[in-house]
Homo-oligomer: A and B are copies of this chain.
Amino acid sequence: MNNFTFHVTTDIRFGKDRLNELPEVLNTFGKNVLLVYGGGSIKKNGLYDAVMAQLTANGNQVTELTGVDPNPRIETVRQGAALCRSETIDVILAVGGGSVIDCSKVIAGAACSEQEPWDLVLSRSYQGPAIPLVTILTLAATGSEMNRGAVISNLETKQKLGVHGPEFLPKVSFLDPTTTFSVSRYQTAAGSADIMSHLIENYFSKTEGTDVQDGVAEGLLKAVIKNLPIALNDPTDYDARANLMWASTLALNGLTGSGKGGAWSCHAMEHELSAFYDITHGIGLAILTPRWMLHVLNEETAPKFARFAREVFGVQEAVPELAARMGIQKLYDFFASCDIPMTLPEVGIADDTHFAEMAAQAVQFSSIATNAYVPLQEEDVIAIYQDSLTPSTYL
């Protein structure tokens, strides 16, 4: 196990009927609120009205920034940072999923920085101050509600890049499973694939002796695998939504990654799919992950893949490589059983036109060529993209 610091101070308010705590939370920071949200789904499900009722009763001055896209854009960050300055915002209230929260984090930093926002993202690490951020989560997926990372897209330069900052950590996050009742079948499955990918990316690492992290990851994976089908079958099953929501947070708050080294392979490759084709992040991850697993399966990695198969999917096979393949097949079949499209053409990526350019960027903007569980060069990435054009089997 590697040395690590774990210091995750976000105050999590988990459960239903807790929005009455919002005024007390916001008053800690001030009255001028920038309310950030996405495409208006919170207006349909009543959350917008419930939040505004609290803010109005509390006498908050509210500035709204709406229309944050999935794969949030640098233009929105610029717009939000300008609003923070012109309206002397005290606190940002992000109401939405990972896109809204990620966008709000970078707005919070950019508003306090002299750097041009895209330069701030390109630096990949922002050490300066930020406006305090409070979140109300509406999608179980990215874990952004309890970590210091954000991912921003620049469609102009065809880049989708992660940036971290110590001050990006939300101060308080409200996690109410009922806010996810209205999430569509497709987005519920995509969000869960994202959670599972975070766990899998952390799980497969060269660092030895991390049974605690790996055991926690296995437990969270099993919780998602059990509860996602329940939520798809009954979108208002509270406990299923609660387990997916809390799993999303714990999957990427440092619990399963601290003490382990390495680079995230599938995320580096998926960011290029989203940057070039603007596809749903979790779907891209679900498509790539089993192909990546097969690509890096070898004599050395087989025992860890066999552990994954045994502990997560209950595979009993004793021969490591065979057990490993059975685990990969079960993961693929699980995604497919949740109606996730499992090939690139199904999400509008019909051929390999941009694969070489995307592979070059995936390697350039990450450390997968040197630091990954199994290092990946451009030709590896292209092979994994190619393999994703058609359905796969692993046995």
Contact = CB atoms under 8 A, between A and B. Distances in A.
Interface of A: 1-18, 177, 208-212, 214-223, 226-227, 238-240, 242-243, 246-247, 250, 255, 258-259
A247 B4 CA distance: 15
A4 B11 contact: no
A212 B250 contact: yes
B211 A226 contact: yes
Contacts of A220: 212, 215-216
A4 B112 CA distance: 33
Nearest to A5: B13
Contact of A212 (B10, B208, B212, B223): B223
Contacts of A208: 239
A238 B2 CA distance: 10
Given A4-B14, A210-B243, A212-B220, 9 more contacts: A2-B15, A3-B14, A5-B14, A210-B239, A211-B223, A212-B250, A214-B223, A215-B218, A215-B221
A382 to B, nearest CB: 36
A50 B220 CA distance: 39
A2 B14 CA distance: 9
A219 B217 CA distance: 8
Contacts of A219: 212, 214-219
A334 to B, nearest CB: 16
A228 to B, nearest CB: 11
Contacts of A8: 8
Given A3-B18, A12-B7, A250 B216 contact: yes
A133 to B, nearest CB: 16
A59 to B, nearest CB: 25
The 10 closest A-B pairs by CB, nearest first: A209-B239, A215-B219, A3-B15, A211-B223, A219-B219, A6-B12, A7-B11, A1-B242, A9-B9, A215-B223
Contacts of A3: 14-18
A131 B222 CA distance: 41
A238 B207 CA distance: 13
Given A14-B258, A219-B218, A258-B14, A212 B7 contact: no
